[in-house]
A and B are shown apart, each in its own frame.
Chain A
Amino acid sequence: MPGTLPVAIENYIALSAVIFFVGVAGVMLRRNPLIMLMSIELMWNAANLLFLAFSKMWLNNAGHVFAFLVITVAAAEAAIGLAIVVTVFRSAKHVDVDEVNLLKG
């Protein structure tokens, strides 16, 4: 292992795994699309944390670049996501995916 980290790499992996699963649970369990979008951001940022930690461990800046790329794409995704949520729920009084049920699934 080339690089040195303040704490062992396992801690970073464990923390990011916890954040990732909080995100997954949020998408699965919450019914509010805004919270679901936030949970998705959590999943993406868990990956970012991992990229940064591994970047430091391997002394390879590609991980930092990747994290910036992900942040940029996530911003675009959030912009589009919020726009779609607004168009879907413009007519409804409150925001709940269970009421979006014209398509059967």
Chain B
Amino acid sequence: MIANPYNSLDWNAVIPLLVVSVTALAVLFADLVARGGVKRVVCIAIGLAGLAVAAVLCAKSYGQSYSSFGGGFIMGGFTVVFEELIVLSAIFSVALYSAVGEARHLAGSIALLLWSAAGAMLMAGAGNLMTIFLGLELLSLALYCLCGMSRRTTARESALKYLILSSTASGFMLYGMALFFGATGSVSLAALANPATAASPLFLVGTALFFIGIAFKLSLVPFHVWTPDVYEGAPLPVTAFMSVATKAGALAVLVRFAYATLPSIHVREILLPLYVVAAISMLVGNLAALAQTDMKRLLAYSGIAQIGYILVALAGTTALGLRYAVFYLAAYLFMNLGAFAVVALMSTENEEGSRIAAFHGLGWRRPWLAAAMAFFLLGLAGFPPTAGFIGKVLILASAVGAGYAWLAGFLILGTAISLYVYFKILRLMYERDQQRAAPVVENSSALAWVSVGVCAIVTVALTFYPLVPSNIIPLVK
């Protein structure tokens, strides 16, 4: 402990994270070396290869369970599952850069996206308050830059909004962490599990502030106001990445906090405000989605509702509920990123194809693309045969089983409203469009089409083989 505090096992735990970070440097270096037209291909290829290597290395640790860096980073099934989801969302987002995005910023964008993914992965394995904060800030700082990386004025505006609101939320969370430290005298999450601390007023105020920070990152109502604006302004691959990876990272922190840290006798009362917020999010998210005219804004509001569904699975903090929550998060990843890939394929040289009006008559102009979009929207609405359907059934079962039937009721109500949201788009796509001329140039990026295909296949496959990982109980020591 004195001579060499870290052993090789410690470094093994963070190897996937290091691979992702080093890949970001490799992409920047390739940008310097490569010339002309190959630059774009090389940067994307290196990014995808690095992420694939990280995914494989990460999967090797699935069966293990150990803590490293003095409890700062915990490796195990739980961390592996969340890291894989984050890496997957990064892979799909990098692939979208082949369809949209300005060539001038490409290498920088991919590098920042990878660093941001590394931050989210750090959050997934964080075992003490310091690593949570560091992961959160690595994720956020890279995202502020990414949001502004476009020539459009709205992009820079979204970066400013995200910066100010997110830093404020981080401030709340940090103050909460300082109060936790005051209540326990330790920065490790394990120290909070002591039932005696739950009575301390420092702990209670700290928990409230900590939840505000987490709710902001998960974009739960009433901390959701930034989400549609930032999603609309940011470049499309960044929006796609944010919609899954930020939420996965924050959810991992929340789950570790709720399952492994809170003293079990008080857990129901402490988490109750979170369930109320989830219920409101499901309603407000779907209702606000009704009025949107931009696809990115619509998916932002739909994401607000979807994260509410995931929190319903966590109600009662049962082990089964956690497995279903992870399953639904995975299903959401594929359905949501599939929809984003379709939007990427709609974009032209000068414009991202996110206006909903542009989807008018799509079913007659580009039938395959419209079919894919219809499929992903039905998935988000929760129709069979998609993973969204089976995921919602599992969540309902777990919530009712845990004695939270009222939350299940809100889920059904939210889903009913969301049907209208998604069917509106479906009707628009299959309406005959008389006056519109044929589009000038169709975007047919191969990588984006592969993303659409993979997302669609996995969404169907997860319905028939609902992989619910068993080895995912989070540990704190």
Which one, B137, B148, B177, B228, contacts A77 given CB within 8 A? Answer: B137
Contact of B171 among A16, A47, A54 (CB under 8 A): A47
CB-CB under 8 A for A70 and B163, given A60-B186, A63-B181, A88-B156: no
**Can you report 28 residue pairs joining A to B where beta carbons are below 8 Å apart?**
A24-B168, A24-B171, A37-B167, A43-B171, A43-B175, A44-B170, A44-B171, A51-B178, A58-B186, A62-B130, A62-B181, A62-B187, A63-B181, A63-B187, A66-B181, A73-B133, A77-B137, A84-B144, A84-B156, A84-B159, A84-B163, A85-B160, A87-B159, A88-B156, A97-B164, A102-B153, A103-B158, A104-B229
Other than the known A43-B175, A47-B174, A50-B179, what 14 A-B pairs have Cβ atoms closer than 8 Å?
Answer: A20-B171, A24-B168, A40-B164, A43-B172, A47-B171, A58-B186, A62-B130, A63-B181, A66-B130, A66-B187, A84-B148, A87-B156, A87-B159, A88-B159
From B144, B164, B178, B229, A33 is in contact (CB under 8 Å) with: B164
Size of interface on B: residues with Cβ below 8 Å to A: 39
Nearest-neighbour CB distance to chain A for B294, whole angstroms, equals 10
CB-based contact A84/B160 at 8 Å: yes
Q: A6 an interface residue at 8 Å Cβ cutoff?
A: no
Minimum distance in angstroms from B120 CB to a CB of chain A = 16
In the complex with contacts A46-B175, A50-B175, A50-B178, A40-B156 CB distance below 8 A: no
A55-105 contacts to B, CB under 8 A, are 55, 57-58, 60, 62-63, 65-66, 69-70, 73, 76-77, 80-81, 84-85, 87-88, 97, 100, 102-105
Q: Is B357 an interface residue (CB 8 A)?
A: no
For B229, the chain A residues whose CB sits under 8 A away are: 103-105
* A50–B456 alpha-carbon span in the complex (Å): 50
Main SS of chain A's interface residues? helix
A43: chain B residues within 8 A (beta carbon) = 168, 171-172, 174-175
B160 and A100: CB pair below 8 A? yes
A62 to B164, CA, bound (A): 28
Q: How far is B179's CA from A54's CA once the two chains are assembled, in angstroms?
A: 9
Residues of A with C-beta under 8 A to B185: 2, 54, 57-58, 60
For A57, what are the chain B residues with a Cβ–Cβ distance below 8 Å? 182, 185
Q: Contacts A69-B134, A73-B133, A84-B163: A47 and B178 contacting too (C-beta < 8 A)?
A: yes
- Kindly identify which residue among A33, A80, A84, A102 contacts B154, using a CB–CB cutoff of 8 Å: A102
Which of B158, B161, B229 has its CB near the most chain A CB atoms (within 10 A)? Answer: B161
Q: How far, in whole Å, are A77 and B157 apart by their CA atoms in the complex?
A: 17
Q: Which of B129, B154, B167, B232 has the most CB of A within 10 A?
A: B167
Contacts known (A50-B182, A77-B167, A102-B153); A20 close to B225, Cβ less than 8 A: no
A63 CA to B158 CA in the complex, in Å? 34
Residues of chain A within 8 A of B181, CB atoms compared: 50-51, 54-55, 58, 62-63, 66
Residue of A nearest to B187 (CB): A62
- B141: A residues at CB distance < 8 A: 73, 76-77, 80
Give complex CA distance A73, B174 in Å: 12
When A54-B181, A60-B185 are in contact, do A69 and B175 touch as well, CB less than 8 Å?
Answer: no
Q: Does B353 sit at the interface, judged by CB under 8 A?
A: no
- The reply to whether A73 and B163 contact each other, CB–CB distance below 8 Å, is no
Bound complex: CA of A50 vs CA of B171, how far in Å?
A: 13
Q: Which residues of chain A from 1 to 50 have any CB-CB distance to chain B below 8 Å in the complex?
A: 2, 9, 13, 16, 20, 23-24, 27, 33, 36-37, 40, 43-44, 46-48, 50
Check B462 for interface membership: any CB of A closer than 8 A: no
A80→B145 CA distance, assembly (Å)? 7
B164 touches A20 (CB 8 A): no
Q: Which residues of A contact B171 (CB under 8 A)?
A: 20, 23-24, 40, 43-44, 47
| Residue B233 CB within 8 A of the other chain | yes
In the complex, the chain B residue whose C-beta lies closest to that of A23 is B171
B146 nearest CB across to chain A (Å): 11
The closest CB in chain A to the CB of B147 belongs to A84
The reply to whether B225 and A105 contact each other, CB–CB distance below 8 Å, is yes
**Which B residue's beta carbon lies closest to that of A103?**
B229
Whether A69 pairs with B133 at a CB distance below 8 angstroms is yes
Q: Which single residue of chain B is at the shortest CB-CB distance from A42?
A: B171
A48 and B153 alpha carbons, distance in the complex (Å): 35
* Pairs of residues from A and B, 7 with the lowest C-beta to C-beta distance, nearest first: A43-B171, A58-B185, A50-B178, A103-B229, A54-B182, A47-B174, A47-B178
Task: Write out the residue numbers on chain B whose beta carbons fall within 8 Å of the beta carbon of A69.
Answer: 130, 133-134
Q: Given the complex of chains A and B, what is the CA–CA distance between A65 and B187 in angstroms?
A: 10
CA distance A43 to B159 in the complex (A): 20
